[in-house]
Structure 1
Amino acid sequence: MAEPNLAEKHVWTRGMRHLKKNDPALGKIISRLGPYEFRLDDDYYEALVGSIIFQQLAGVAARAILNRFKQIYDGKIPRPREYLDTEEKHLRASGLSPQKIRYIRDLSERIENGVLDLKRLSDLPSDEVVKELDEVKGIGRWTAEMFLIFVLGRTDVLPVDDLGLRKAAQKIYRLRKQPTKEKFEQLSKNWHPYCSIATLYLWRSQEKPQDPVKW
């Protein structure tokens, strides 16, 4: 039997109903914000390259670098071989740091050498996906969890290390201070198996209406 996926509307219907029933505080947020416009990233490599470029940068700066990076390749994200064949001076000119150039190179080499088979990830349990991606330089647990949500559409992902998520929880549950990871896990115990939907609504509760979540 196929695993539920965030790309399916009925999963959202069930998930929202479950969260409203089991967590009234979160249910109020869901009712106030309304339906969530969600679309999966279907290019695994492109999503990971984008996530590396966006790491530790404000959205405007990251988008500017991403756009200059894509200009090297006629407005597109390159394929792994194409990236590996690019002279580093062109990559640096786009604004990529030497560290991120190495990260994307490591990702590209692993794919080209067959060490990392991205398409195989959709068949693996979530913890195995995290383990596989964590082997790549520059891709840690948080980035792997974003991949699970936004690329694979897994329904029960809880990024407990995300400070923005815990800040949103502090506000929603009217806590005196930001919850620890352990406290946050306790707060989320009734969200399963729809932690990803709860996560997306918590992020959205912190946004300005015109600013979509970008990982």
Structure 2
Amino acid sequence: MHAFQIPLMPPYSFERLFQRLQTHPDPQLEVQAENNLLRRVFRVGSRPVLTSLQFVGSIDQPVLQVGTTSALSAEERDELVRTIRHVFCADLDLLPIYEQMQEEAELAVLVKRFRGLRLMHDSDLFQSMVKTIIGQQINLTFAANLTQRLLALAGDEVVDERGVKFLAFPTAEAVARLAVEDLRPLQFSQRKAEYIIDYARAIVDGTVELERLWAMEDEEVVAHLTALRGIGRWTVECLLMFGMGRPNLLPAADIGLRNGISLVYKLDTKPDEKEIRRMGERWEPWRSIYSLYIWEAVGAVKRKEVWEE
């Protein structure tokens, strides 16, 4: 086992991360909440690498202990570290965001309750877009089930020393080779199957160059990707937030955000997209983080937590 540590920017709440995973299941993860341990496969280059991730330390002195049985070159280890830091939002300084959020009493409650909560980002932009397309207009549990079926159909299998099987997310090349008829028996709708395969083929044929997206402004990414069939603004905003980690996204059309704002601000009716964008003006430049904390208020209610004080 090759092991090394990655320090994380405090505050970092392992407890909140694991609680969020209860309502946001990820079929790639083996979760051992009692040990603060996650196991999953990351791609290093194109190679699937099974990795263990144990959170040690405390909310104010957080450290991630990383282990793998795979032999890695120095370059591969550096790539794995970069991916893990991105996935676990390791370098985000929450303190200036909290200072701004506490200007509103309704949000100050969330800061206190969810202190140290961060997004878990997707490990690559192909995976992020495919998961977002899968999740369109269905609930989180069914989306996780569809993702698991795609993993089983086209992903790479890695077996640990105890014979436990893990699946790496499929590559764009693997998905591009699929036909719609391969996905329909897995309960993918006709359109969802078409959009996923079309997106994979756009990457393989060079119509979309994912690495170029990192140098683009948010609106440039939106314009570039919404040219593809089946990809709208909400889909790209999710990619920007969950795939690229952009801090100032406000997915105002998201029903979960509408529900969360209604809950947090104790509104009699759910705000529409225009009203959410108006409210979000005072949340800049951290609207992604505000959205996360508002979503988490809904998640806490689903988990039957008492989150108000």
- The 1-side partners of 2:147 and 2:263 are apart by 33
- The 1-side partners of 2:191 and 2:287 are apart by 32
User: What code does the residue aligned with 1:18 have?
Assistant: Q
- Normalised by the length of structure 1, the TM-score is 0.85
What do residues 22-50 of structure 1 show as CA deviations (whole Å, max 9, x unaligned)?
A: 32221122212222143321211011111
Aligned to 1:114: 206
Aligned to 2:94: 12
Aligned to 2:168: 76
Unpaired segments ≥5 residues, structure 2: 1-85, 157-166, 304-309
C-alpha change, 1:118 and 1:209, in structure 2 (3 Å) is farther
2:176–2:204 CA contact under 8 A, matched in 1 = no
Q: Once structures 1 and 2 are overlaid, which stretch shifts more, 171-180 or 154-163?
A: 171-180
1:29 aligns with 2:110: yes
Aligned to 2:177: 85
C-alpha change, 1:88 and 1:163, in structure 2 (3 Å) is closer
What do residues 108-135 of structure 1 show as CA deviations (whole Å, max 9, x unaligned)?
A: 1211221111111111001111111212
C-alpha change, 1:37 and 1:209, in structure 2 (3 Å) is farther
Give the count of matched residue pairs: 206
Aligned to 1:47: 128
1:68–1:95 CA contact under 8 A, matched in 2 = no
1:196 aligns with 2:288: yes
Q: Once structures 1 and 2 are overlaid, which stretch shifts more, 57-66 or 145-154?
A: 57-66
User: What code does the residue aligned with 2:170 have?
Assistant: P
What do residues 180-199 of structure 1 show as CA deviations (whole Å, max 9, x unaligned)?
A: 33322332332111111100
1:16–1:197 CA contact under 8 A, matched in 2 = no
- The 1-side partners of 2:228 and 2:151 are apart by 22
Q: Once structures 1 and 2 are overlaid, which stretch shifts more, 104-113 or 174-183?
A: 174-183
- The 1-side partners of 2:93 and 2:231 are apart by 28
What do residues 155-182 of structure 1 show as CA deviations (whole Å, max 9, x unaligned)?
A: 1111111222122212222222222333
1:40–1:151 CA contact under 8 A, matched in 2 = yes
Unpaired segments ≥5 residues, structure 1: none
Aligned to 2:225: 133
2:260–2:298 CA contact under 8 A, matched in 1 = yes
Which structure has the bigger radius of gyration? 2
User: What code does the residue aligned with 1:44 have?
Assistant: L
1:94 aligns with 2:186: yes
Higher RCO, Cα 8 Å, sep 6+? 1
Deviation >6 Å, runs of 4+: none
Aligned to 1:207: 299
Please give the secondary structure, in 1, of the residue aligned with 2:193.
helix
User: What code does the residue aligned with 1:34 have?
Assistant: R
- The 1-side partners of 2:149 and 2:110 are apart by 37
Please give the secondary structure, in 2, of the residue aligned with 1:188.
helix
Q: Which has the higher strand share?
A: 2
| RMSD between aligned residues | 2.2
C-alpha change, 1:64 and 1:7, in structure 2 (3 Å) is closer
User: What code does the residue aligned with 2:128 have?
Assistant: A
C-alpha change, 1:52 and 1:29, in structure 2 (3 Å) is same
- Normalised by the length of structure 2, the TM-score is 0.61
Q: Which has the higher helix share?
A: 1
- The 2-side partners of 1:106 and 1:29 are apart by 40
